[in-house]
Structure 1
Amino acid sequence: MNSGIFSENNLINKIRNLPPDKMTEVEDFVDFLLEKQEQIRLNRAAAKLSETAFSKIWDNEEDADYDQL
């Protein structure tokens, strides 16, 4: 059996055994984790898009000494 599937099934079974108020807490936490993951993805995408625009500023002779830091 795939350990990832086992872990997922195990987690689902544990959640099913929680009282309703705790299920709400788990759902809130999962939503938080998903939002955090999405924010990280967006930040990385924005940084990647900025590379071209900033490369002209970062890559110049005047600041060449800073490249060694």
Structure 2
Amino acid sequence: MQAHSSSEQRLLEKIRQLPPEQVLLVEDFINSLEKQNTEYSLTFTAAKLSEPVLFKIWDNPDDAEYDTL
């Protein structure tokens, strides 16, 4: 926990030293990271939810020879 706190402090100090227009750029960057994380989570969840439905398609005797590829 201490390492997280010290890196957080370093980041805050660096942000405080930036001019306001660059602080806005940092905020935009953080927002884009949050959006990426949200999009990844949604994609991962959708893929997991579709697995049971697609399992019947993936696991069948007709396609068994492709399993070894």
Fold in common (TM above 0.5): yes
Instruction: Identify unmatched segments of 5+ residues in structure 2.
Output: none
Higher RCO (Cα < 8 Å, 6 or more apart): 1
Identical-residue share of aligned pairs (%):
46
User: What TM-score do you get using the length of structure 2 for normalisation?
Assistant: 0.95
Counterparts in 2 of 1:1-69, with a 5 A limit? 2-69=2-69
Instruction: Identify unmatched segments of 5+ residues in structure 1.
Output: none
CA deviation after TM superposition for structure 1 residue 52, in Å = 0.5
Q: 1:5-45: CA deviations, max 9, x gaps?
A: 10011101110111000000000000000000111111110
**Count of residue pairs the alignment pairs up:** 69
User: What TM-score do you get using the length of structure 1 for normalisation?
Assistant: 0.95
**1:26 is paired with a residue of what secondary structure?**
helix
